[in-house]
Amino acid sequence: MKVMERHYRTVWMEGSIVKLINQPLIPHKFEIVAMEDHRATAQAIKDMIVRGAGAIGATGGYGMAQVVLEAPTDNFEEYIRRGAYALRNTRPTAQNLFYAIDKVLGEIEEAKADPKKAKEAAVVMAQQIADEDVAACKQIGEYGEELIKDGNNISTHCNAGWLAFVDWGTALSPIYLATRKGKKVFVYVDETRPRSQGSRLTAWELGQEGVPHTIIADNATGYYMKSGKIDLVIVGADRITANGDVANKIGTYSSAVIAKENGIPFYVAAPTSTIDLKCHSGEEIPIEERTPDEVLYAWGWSDQGIFERVRVSPPGSKAKNPAFDVTPASYITGIITEKGITKATPEGIRSLFT
């Protein structure tokens, strides 16, 4: 995707350095940051400098390549084991992270006896993971675009655009392709509290692409659905289970329930790397609990041009901050993948891997 007429990926690797778009600064500032080693890369995932299932996965793959590049010959396997552990323990919910780490580890398994070959193999596999993410998201856009009719009003939640993946994104990819094909599309962007990734990131992306949109409070989604203003919902996913349940940003479940109540199709867009066949249902998905400060405070630019944090709650009040919720398969119309659109059922999920 383009930013100020220049093409960027969300994450890439130059030599042994991982480059990232600093997402907490968007939409106020566009900045590229460099992660010099796997520890810095792991911290970037944990601090959400990079976020979104596919982007976390690609970053984890690059971070794993850094681990292998850094590993000393006299302590090669132990260093790799510890590095993989550090990357796995950054964020618990998004399946793509674990997928990428395991892919790099699997690629170097036979080459461990030859550190030079292992280092080369790790870098190649990490790059392959990123490239496959781009190709999958483009294909998701091709399949999903067929669901969008000229003049549709679409609701989305959080950010499942190119910032959440390496490029194109999932939920926004069909919207981008529909717009480029000349379809008139309007997007209702849920703000997605507490980190406001809808109002900060999705709205910024849509603006860069020239897609008409408006930001609405999360609690306004039901109002617009009941008023007949929304024709279709497309959201992303951080993990999809073997039975079709979906973990995504907190608030997705509420949107799905209201959509079903009002007869509005509710689609989930995700590459097959987001599917965890070892996880049988949503009840088994670990839900990340983030710091209460994200609820109690907000960041933004003051009228004086200062980027600062302000408290939006009474002093002494406590907060809970689950980062994700689980939408049961029964509320999902279909799952848009790079292999096609399937039902959110055990049979539908299995069909993607046969």
Closest CA to 86 of 107, 109, 66, 106: 66
Give the chain's count of helices (H) and strands (E). Answer: 12, 18
Torsion angles phi and psi, residue 192, rounded to 5: 65, 65
Closest CA to 168 of 210, 136, 200: 136
* Residue 238 bears catalytic tag: yes
State the first-to-last Cα distance of the chain, in angstroms, to the nearest integer.
32
- Examine residue 24 and say whether the peptide bond preceding it is cis (omega within 30 degrees of 0): no
Instruction: Single out the catalytic residue among 133, 190, 218, 238.
Output: 238
Closest CA to 169 of 58, 91, 32: 58
124: tokens are 């190649």
Helix, strand or coil, per DSSP, at residue 303: coil
Q: Distance between CA atoms of 117 and 309, rounded to whole angstroms?
A: 47
107: tokens are 């690629």
Which residues carry out catalysis? 238
